[in-house]
Amino acid sequence: MDRTQLHTLLPHQGDALWLDALVDHDKLTIRGLSAWHHLDKLGKNASPCLLFEAAAQLCAAHGALYGEADAIEMALVGKLSQLNLHPVTRSAEPLLVSAQQEALSPAGALYAFAIHAGTQPLLDGKLLLVLVRA
């Protein structure tokens, strides 16, 4: 799924969309691609920790693909935890973003996520999405 198709799943448009493609997904996991240039928009010294936004969008896409009968109007980042930033040198390779759903309730979804730059881990942690039902 490319950026054009992602626009049908997510409200993020233009520069606000930090995902470039979905690689694969199933009921509990999802993987997608992002890139360093999304971070560059925030300034020369923007922390790679801010790439959690790509992971949050990936998790929201997962919810849009596998949501239950009740439509989800909005998914908001409720909490980031257990963040680990690993030292990595920037490259032109795409960033692989992956997430695994660990828990789901009517109020939210908990995901473990990881971002890799090539074969090197860049950022990982837990992401709690608060779900607003339509």
Between CA 134 and CA 121 the distance in angstroms is 36
Per-residue model confidence as pLDDT tens digits over 43-78:
888 999 999 999 999 998 898 888 765 566 777 899
The CATH number of 3-133 is which of 3.10.129.10, 3.30.565.10, 3.50.50.60, 3.90.550.50?
Answer: 3.10.129.10
pLDDT of amino acid 68: 65
Write down the domain spans for the chain. Answer: 3-133
pLDDT of amino acid 14: 80
Between CA 116 and CA 94 the distance in angstroms is 9
Asked whether the predicted pLDDT for residue 6 surpasses 60, the reply is: yes
**What is the longest distance spanned by two Cα atoms in the chain?**
43
Between CA 96 and CA 30 the distance in angstroms is 11
Asked whether the predicted pLDDT for residue 3 surpasses 90, the reply is: no
pLDDT of amino acid 70: 59
Task: Provide φ and ψ at 106, rounded to 5°.
Answer: -60, -25
pLDDT of amino acid 86: 95
Burial of 127 (0-12, 13-18, 19+ CB in 10 A): buried
Per-residue model confidence as pLDDT tens digits over 87-132:
988 888 899 999 999 998 888 899 999 999 999 999 999 999 987 7
